[in-house]
Amino acid sequence: MVRIRFISIMVTLGVALLLLSPGCDELITETIEITIAGHPTAEFRIVNDSGCLLNGEFLVDFEDASSGSIIRWVWDFGDGTFDTLYLDSGDSGDISHAYNSIGSYTVNLSVFDTTIDGAGLETKKRAVIVGHSIDSMTISDFAICPGDSVTLTAHNPFGVAHWRWSFGDGTVRLDSNPVQTYAWTDPGLYLCSLSVNGDCGQTLIIDSVNVMHCGAPYFTVDTAEGCVPMYVQFTDMTPTPIIDSTTSEVVGTIVLWLFDFGVGTPQQYDYAPNVIDVEYTVAGTYEVSLTVTTDSGGVTTYYDTIIAHPGDASFAVAPNEGCQISGRQFAVAFTREPSGDTAWLWDFGDGDTSHAQNPYHVYVNPGIYDVSLAAFGACGDSVATFDSTAMITYSDTLADDVLFSVVQNPHLDSSLWYTFTDTSQPAIVVNRIWDFGDNTSNPTAISVTHLYADSTHSYTVTLTRTNTCDSLSGDTVISVTSTGGGK
Residues 261/345, Cβ–Cβ less than 8 Å: no
Q: Residue 448: count other Cβ atoms within 10 Å of its Cβ.
A: 19
CA distances from 294 to 213, 253, 256, 272, 477 (A): 16, 5, 7, 12, 81
Side-by-side strand order, sheet with 382-385:
353-354, 341-347, 372-377, 382-385
CB of 130 within 8 A of CB of 50? Answer: yes
Q: How confident is the model at residue 309 (pLDDT cuts 50, 70, 90)?
A: confident
pLDDT digits (tens, 9 = 90+) for 202-223: 788 999 998 876 667 888 899 9
Pairwise CA distance, residues 37 & 156, whole Å: 48
> What are 422-469's pLDDT values in tens digits?
988 878 787 889 999 888 877 678 899 888 887 778 899 999 988 877
Give tens-digit pLDDT for 313-370: 778 888 888 888 777 788 899 988 666 778 888 999 899 999 998 999 998 888 888 8
For residues 131 and 106, give the distance between their C-alpha atoms in angstroms, rounded to a whole number: 15
Question: For residue range 372-391, what is the model confidence (pLDDT) as tens digits?
Answer: 888 887 676 665 554 433 46
Residue 18 near residue 9 (C-beta atoms within 8 A): yes
Beta bridge partners of 154: 137
Cβ of 466: how many Cβ atoms within 10 Å? 16
Q: Which residues contact 349 (CB under 8 A, 6 or more apart)?
A: 369, 370, 371, 372, 392
Task: Please give the domain boundaries of the chain with CATH numbers for all domains.
Answer: 3-34 (no CATH), 44-131 (2.60.40.10), 136-211 (2.60.40.10), 219-309 (2.60.40.10), 316-395 (2.60.40.10), 404-479 (2.60.40.10)
How far apart, in whole angstroms, are the C-alpha atoms of residue 431 and residue 465? 6
In the chain, how long is the greatest CA-to-CA distance?
A: 189
Region label for 148, one of left (φ > 0), alpha (ψ between -120 and 50) or beta (otherwise)? beta
What's the pLDDT score for residue 442?
72
**C-beta separation of 338 from 411 below 8 A:** no
pLDDT at 226 over 50: yes
Would you state the pLDDT for residue 116?
Answer: 47
Mean pLDDT of 299-319: 85
Give DSSP secondary structure letters for 82-104.
Answer: EEEEEGGGT--S-EEEEE-S-EE
Mean pLDDT of 58-67: 89
- pLDDT higher than threshold 50 for residue 5: no
Question: 42 near 54, Cβ under 8 Å?
Answer: no
Find, among 225, 226, 244, 224, the residue nearest to 234 by Cα: 224
- Other beta carbons within 10 Å of 332: 21
> Tell me, what's the pLDDT at 128?
65
384-424: per-residue pLDDT in tens?
Answer: 554 433 467 777 777 778 889 998 876 655 668 889 999 88
The Cα 29–Cα 159 span in angstroms is 71
Q: CA 200, 205, 210: angle at the middle one, nearest 5? A: 165
Query: What is the band of 62 on the pLDDT scale with cuts at 50, 70, 90?
Result: very high
CA angle, residues 337, 340, 342, in degrees to nearest 5: 105
pLDDT on residue 132: 64
Q: How far apart are the first and last CA of the chain?
A: 182
More confident residue, 13 or 405: 405
Does this model's pTM top 0.85? My answer is: no
What 3-state class would DSSP assign to 311? coil
For residue 144, give the DSSP letter: E
> pLDDT category, 15, cuts 50, 70, 90?
very low
160, 134 Cβ separation under 8 angstroms = yes
Averaged confidence pLDDT in the chain: 80
Higher pLDDT, 241 or 60: 60
Q: Give the span between the Cα atoms of 55 and 207, in whole angstroms.
A: 24
Q: Which helix (H) or strand (E) holds 294?
A: strand 284-294
